[in-house]
Amino acid sequence: MTESRRCLTPAGSPSGLLVGLKAHLFILPLLFLLTACSGEPGTGPADVHWDRDACERCRMVLSARNFSAQIRYTPDPESRSQVFKFDDIGCAVIWLDQQEWREHPSVEIWVNDHRNGEWIDARTASYVQGKLTPMEYGLGAQDDPITGAIDFEQARELIYQQEERFNTHGAHLEQNAEQAKLPSIRETNQQ
């Protein structure tokens, strides 16, 4: 009868330390990878908690998955980016124009493609008019050009025309611009 013997390596022995070291060399990089993947990226659109996240400007809940927008801003390379969410590209444009850092190179503007809800770069998107949007600015964004569509700057002008005409957020816009020493809606529209 042959007796089988298992080789048990005591933790304190040199070979036991080697096994433990190998395990740590495998586990530590895996933990770093998982940690890096679990945080929010420093660029691009962030996840939206639909029907829970509120618009930064008008405080309405984001629920229209084909017309919302986001602005991401990183104050400096050493800090984390900040993400601001909006229920309509109109709210995003007007709110951004009231920020002192609006021209900072790190500012990203994202908008949903009105056809499929995918996030696209708002500055390069084409905008079609006549859509039913949460704040009634009426603009649907898409990533490919289409006859009759307008670009971001034209969309921006249209947003201010709509705001001026319907004053959907009350008379506070002119007062807020004056207090922040920013161009008023009329001044911005004339530029």
Task: Classify residue 151: in a domain, yes or no.
Answer: yes
**Residue 8: what pLDDT?**
53
Task: Classify residue 40: in a domain, yes or no.
Answer: no
DSSP 94-152: HHHHTSTTTT-TT-EEEEEBTTT--EEETTT-EEES----TTS---EEESS--TT-B-H
> In total, how many domains does the chain have?
1
189 vs 82: which has the higher pLDDT: 82
Residue 86 is part of which domain span?
Answer: 69-190
Task: Classify residue 44: in a domain, yes or no.
Answer: no
Over residues 134-161, the pLDDT tens digits come to 999 999 999 999 999 999 999 999 999 9
46 vs 79: which has the higher pLDDT: 46
Q: Cα(120)–Cα(37) distance, rounded to whole angstroms?
A: 22
**Residue 129: what pLDDT?**
97
Give the burial class of 166: count Cβ atoms within 10 A of its Cβ; 0-12 exposed, 13-18 middle, 19 or more buried. Answer: exposed
Task: Classify residue 35: in a domain, yes or no.
Answer: no
Listed ranges 2-6, 11-15, 119-123; the one with the highest mean pLDDT: 119-123
DSSP 13: S
